[in-house]
């Protein structure tokens, strides 16, 4: 008799649960909320966690706890860690290309190009970690028997409002310079295009980056950003991602940041007409120097 063919049941896909990235872990939002993420044609992609101000406070606490260790690491070591992140991104090329394509509604070739630019941008900032001190610091001439030496130091915890349109290249362009200089970051991802940021969180978690150095919160930028702008334990804020967010005036965030003298990086454009920068343009040092402070040491010397 011929063997009886076995019936196979159709395979059920393993669907991913998208969570926040705080302190090196992937918690759900304490609020229990989520929201639907769609592509540029309105088609459902996933449910993402909708972070709350409590999640933002938790992220700031983790970032503050990680700051001393990250700022105290050698610049060379920070560069190695960031380069490792670029290596892992490159290894996940197919995943990132698909997620950028779906998020931004671009062709596969365009998504490939955006990923290559994002990886190259990460490597570019990694290469600056051990060079900034020579470019921005040095021995100052003084009229007296002293050594006068200036050196850049990280500001502390920096809140970053990620770009709303550029889901990966823009995100890398605002995040990498913050942590390359020894700061720790709390990032509000693009509200409608958060999935590439969550994929980046998975890369960070599997690289050598210490937990708490980068914390990613998905959800409403308009809802959470005012709390980060006014948080007394946040030392700087990048307002780039405030451009184009309905119901959010970046000037109000800057005013809230002034309460404790935060360093502020304003969005591109003038006044209320803020726009996202051209992320394909060659970067400069501004995004690093904004969140650095100069420490000057005087030391007597013999004649």
Report pLDDT digits (tens) over 207-218. 999 999 999 999
Average pLDDT over residues 87-103: 96
74 burial level (CB within 10 Å; 0-12, 13-18, 19+): exposed
Question: Is 128 within a domain?
Answer: yes
Question: Is 100 within a domain?
Answer: yes
Question: Is 239 within a domain?
Answer: yes
Question: Is 271 within a domain?
Answer: yes
Res 157: pLDDT? 98
Beta strand 236-238 pairing with 263-265 = parallel
Instruction: Decide if 145 contacts 302 (C-beta within 8 A).
Output: yes
What distance in Å separates the CA atoms of residue 268 and residue 70, rounded to the nearest whole number? 29
pLDDT digits (tens, 9 = 90+) for 117-158: 999 999 999 999 999 999 998 888 888 888 888 889 999 999
Number of domains forming the structure of the chain: 1
Question: Is 73 within a domain?
Answer: yes
Question: Is 24 within a domain?
Answer: no
pTM of the model: 0.92
Pull the structure tokens for residue 179: 């942590």
Domain that holds residue 89: 34-300
Query: Looking at residue 73, which CATH number applies to its domain?
Result: 3.40.605.10
Mean pLDDT (the chain) is 93
């Amino acid at each position: 008799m011929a063997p009886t063919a076995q019936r196979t049941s159709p395979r059920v896909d393993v669907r991913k649960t998208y969570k926040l990235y705080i302190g090196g872990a992937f918690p759900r939002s304490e609020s229990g909320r989520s929201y639907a993420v769609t592509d540029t044609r309105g088609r459902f992609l996933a449910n993402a966690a909708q972070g709350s101000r409590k999640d933002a406070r938790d992220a700031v606490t983790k970032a503050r706890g990680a700051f001393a260790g990250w700022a105290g690491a050698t610049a060379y070591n920070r560069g190695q860690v960031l380069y490792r992140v670029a290596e892992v991104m490159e290894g996940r090329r197919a995943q990132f290309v698909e997620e950028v394509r779906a998020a931004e509604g671009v062709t596969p070739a365009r998504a490939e190009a955006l990923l290559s630019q994002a990886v190259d941008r990460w490597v570019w900032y990694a290469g600056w970690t051990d060079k900034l001190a020579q470019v921005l610091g040095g021995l100052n001439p003084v009229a007296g028997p002293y050594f006068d030496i200036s050196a850049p130091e990280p500001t502390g915890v920096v809140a970053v409002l990620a770009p709303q349109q550029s889901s990966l290249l823009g995100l890398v362009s605002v995040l990498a310079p913050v942590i390359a200089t020894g700061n720790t970051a709390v990032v509000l991802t693009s509200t409608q295009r958060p999935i590439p940021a969550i994929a980046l969180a998975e890369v960070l978690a599997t690289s050598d980056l210490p937990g708490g150095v980068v914390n990613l919160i998905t959800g409403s930028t308009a809802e959470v950003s005012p709390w980060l702008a006014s948080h007394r334990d946040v030392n700087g804020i990048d307002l780039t991602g405030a451009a184009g967010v309905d119901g959010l005036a970046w000037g109000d965030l800057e005013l809230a940041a002034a309460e404790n003298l935060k360093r502020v990086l304003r969005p591109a454009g003038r006044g209320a007409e803020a726009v996202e920068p051209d992320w394909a343009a060659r970067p400069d040092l501004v995004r690093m120097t904004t969140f650095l402070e100069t420490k000057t040491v005087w030391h007597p010397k013999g004649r």
